[in-house]
Each structure stands twice: as C-alpha cells, then as structure tokens.
Amino acid sequence: MAGAHILHVDLDAFYASVEQLLDPSLRGKPVLVGGGVVLAASYEARAFGVSAPMGIRAALARCPQAIVVEGSFGRYREFSERVMDICRDSTPLVEQISVDEAFLDVSGTEHLLGTPRAIGSEIRRRVRVEIGLPISVGIARTKFLAKVASAQAKPDGMIEVLPSDELRWLHALPVRVMWGVGPVMERSLEQLGISSVGDLADTPIELLASRLGRATAAHLHALSRNRDPRPVVLHTAGKSVGAQSALGRGTADPHELSAVLLGLADRVARRLRKKDLAGRTVTVRARFADMSSHTRAATLASAVSTTAALHRCGIPLLDEARAEVIGPITLVGISVSRLERRRALQLELPFDVGDPTRAGSQRGAAALMIDEQLDAARARFGTEAVGRASVLLSTRGRVADAFRELAEKD
C-alpha cells in the first residue's frame, strides 16, 4: 500500500486574510469581503455565525461590528500565484483547483526534501514567513482524504493521516465532511440513522440507493471507504469554458432562472471571445435541493461565442433538466465545448433574420456586434460598468465578476 504522499493545501479565509495583511488595522477584527453577498469572512466574523454566501445585511445583523471591504481582486491573484510558486518548489505535480487550494503529489521528491510531513511543514513555514498568510495542509494517501484532513486542520494547521489509521480516523467524523453532503442530504441520511462516515460505510449500498439514487450512493459509499483512485494531474489547455452559480435555497421561478442563465452565458461568452475561441456544444447543468443533478447538452451547426446564442440554446436545455425534478434549483451551470478558433464572420444563406445560434444570420451577426461593444466598454471602464438589464436588476445578490474569474478554471 502506498504511503501518504498527497498534500492538499488550502489558504485560510483567503480573501479576508489578504485584506488583513494589506491593512494591519483589520487584523484581529471581523472582516467581510463582498458587496451584496459575503464572499469571504474572517475567522473573527465566523465566530458570530457568519459565512459565505450569506447576504451582507444578514451577516451584519449577526455581527454588527464587522468591517465590510469590497475586495482587492488583482492582489488576490498575485498572492495566489506566489503561494503556488512555493508549492512548485516542492514538486512539479501541483494541481491547482481554485485560487486558494491545490493538490500536490510529493512521492517523487521525498528522497530530496524529506517526508511528506516535512514538506508540508516547510510549505506552511514559507507561506507564513515569505507571504504572511495562514495555510492549512492535509496529508493522506488519496485526494479525498487529504482534502478532508486539511479542512479538519483549519485554521492554520496540518494533519497527516497514515494509511494504517485512515479508516478509523475517517469513520469517526460526521457525515457532513463528505463531498456532496449538504444540509438537505445530511437530513436524509439522518433519517436512515446515518450520522457519521462510519455509519455511511456500514450501510448497505442498496438502502442508500433507494434514498439517494444509485450514482450518488455509489459515490458516497466508495469515498466512505476511502476509495478514490484519482491521481494528481497537471492542468492542460482547457477543452471547455464554463461557469456556474449557486442559488442559496434555490428558486423555481422561470424568469429568475432565465436571468441567472443569461448572466452565466455572458460570463462564458466573454471568456470565449477573450481567448479568441468559439464552441459548438452547449451543456447546461441544474442541481436541485435534494442534491441531485441533471445535465443536458446540444450541439449547434456552427461554433458560437455570443451571449445571445448561449442563452437561446441554454433555456430549453434548462427546461428539460427542470422537468426531471419537482422543486427549486440550487445551482445552475453552463459550459461550451468542441472549441475552435474564432473565424471571421461570414453571412450565410438564407439571408433571413434567423436566430443567434446561427452565427452567420442577421441576429447572430447583430449579437456579436453588441457583445464586442460591451467588451470594449468593459475593457475601458471595468467589468461591472455595463451589462444586460435583466441581470443587473435581478433581485438575487450578485457577485463581482472579478471574484468569479478568480474561482473559475477552464
């Protein structure tokens, strides 16, 4: 059996910690980063029950003395890159999964740098001394267990789970530490008498499948026994571009879902154009309150990169997904694949008005012209300076695009 050679590094309360580092007057005080929605809360604020993605008003009701800051988007990316450079000094196998966390496989560098625990300790020391940020590290034989260990090590700690002890350690934890187990699923599991990971591992998979569905049951049952064969991989050039948005308690309102999808389509289309790409396959994902997810996809005759095309194609796909489950949708995502380099737009036959999913139709050409004008305005005045009215006027709390771009990886 292989030893514990995978590290999961996770910067603690990253956005808030950077703000406290940049402004010493914020240190030791409750800090909230965000606008209408809390994107990050310092540990001082979390002590009052504040967490993301809570609304700012609700957060201030719990912690009136909290200090709200909008965020230093460019600095967050800068600090992230410095931390990842330190990680790459320990091993070339670094899989960055977000702006503030990454997996490392140190099996090939132990003979040079020492044990995984020594490597983790050195990373923590360098991040604290050279950058000034707290970071937690989990060390285990699998990616799943390493991530659970880093979460248990917070704040600013390190836990190593040895292979000989991994199931005893994991099974003692509450079932909510499992990937994919949110409050709704946790309540469903409690109704089956499952409160710990050990309870989950001991429950027959057929019983879990009857309540959760076979795919979810198989996923959770495997992880409860630490069966996770995924290796640490280097990110290669993206084969798709996507974005998603969590909707809190969820909504079933078709107008609100359309506005959410339009905002996502705008983000994805803008990133496609920035990379000079277009794509033919559009995929929409919807997650429901019972934690089930449904995905639908469609392939277009020609590659597109406009907001209107993605929204026009995505709406019927979202409607198909909604038809599968009765209840609110808690997350919407859209992605574009089968990518190719954007070509010069050529009008196509027949010369009718057409629709935006036909890139060479009148509406397709008009949609591209509108998007390019928006791109130019945003480049000059900022990404929040202009947008589509139904998105800007949505009653749901909005997250600044700069934050979204930090979190999204192609």
Residues that are catalytic = 101
Strand locations in 188-327 (E): 240-251, 277-288, 293-304
The enclosing H or E element of 63 equals none
Indicate the residue type of 360.
G
Reading the block at residue 340, the tokens are 């190719």
Contact 171, 198 (CB under 8 A): yes
CB atoms < 10 A from the CB of 25, how many? 8
Beta bridge partners of 69: 33
Location of structure tokens 């009148």: 362
CA–CA distance, 218 with 214 (Å, rounded to integer): 6
Location of structure tokens 């990886």: 409
- State the burial class of residue 104 (Cβ atoms within 10 Å of its Cβ: 0-12, 13-18, 19+): buried
Reading the block at residue 315, the tokens are 């709406």
Name 339's Cβ contacts closer than 8 Å, sequence gap at least 6: 238, 239, 240, 241, 272, 277, 278, 279, 303
The enclosing H or E element of 6 equals strand 6-11
